[in-house]
Amino acid sequence: MKKILILNGPNLNLLGRREPSVYGSQSFEDYFETLKNTFANIELHYYQSNHEGALIDKIHEIGFSFDGMIINAGGLSHSSIALADALSSVTTPAVEVHISNIHAREPFRHHSYISSRCKGMICGLGLRGYELAVRFLNE
C-alpha cells in the first residue's frame, strides 16, 4: 500500500473559516476524510503546522520512506529557501498544491521557491487540487 503525506503550512488550519471567498468553506479535516474514503487503497497521512521548522522536520522524517508528498506551504512557498532545500534533500517525490491561483493574486505570490523541487504544481482548483495530486502520485 502506498503511503502519501499531505503537508499543509501556515494558516491552512483555518480553512473553512479563513477568507471563504478565496479558500472555500470546508475545513481541511472534513475534506481529508473525503480523500481517505476516495483513496481507501492508499495510506494517507496529514500534517499541518504554522512553523517552518516543524514542516522541515516532517519532510526529513518521511522523506526517505513515503511514496509521495503533497505540499501546500502557504505563504512560505514564496519566502522559504529552507523548505526548498529540505525538499531537495530527500528522495520522496513531492507535488505542490495551492487552493487559489497564486498567479492571479498579488505579485509576491507569483514565485514559489519550492516549485522547482517538486514534480509538478496544481493551483487554483480549490481543494480538488489535493485529489489530483494524490491521483498523480498513485500512478
- Domain interval for residue 69: 2-138
Give the active site residue among 45, 46, 60, 98. Answer: 98
Q: Whole-angstrom Cα distance, residue 117 to residue 113?
A: 8
Question: pLDDT category, 15, cuts 50, 70, 90?
Answer: confident
* Residue 116 confidence (pLDDT): 96
Provide the number of structural domains found in the chain: 1
51 is catalytic: no
* Residue 102 confidence (pLDDT): 84
What pTM does this model have?
Answer: 0.93
DSSP for residue 18: S
Q: For residue 32, give the CATH number of its domain.
A: 3.40.50.9100
98 is catalytic: yes
Mean pLDDT within 28-37: 96
* Residue 86 confidence (pLDDT): 98
Check the annotation: does 27 bind a ligand: no
* Mean pLDDT computed over every residue of the chain: 94
Give the active site residue among 23, 31, 113, 130. Answer: 23
User: Given a cut of 80, is residue 24 above it in pLDDT?
Assistant: no
Check the annotation: does 109 bind a ligand: yes
More confident residue, 103 or 6: 6
Mean pLDDT within 112-119: 96
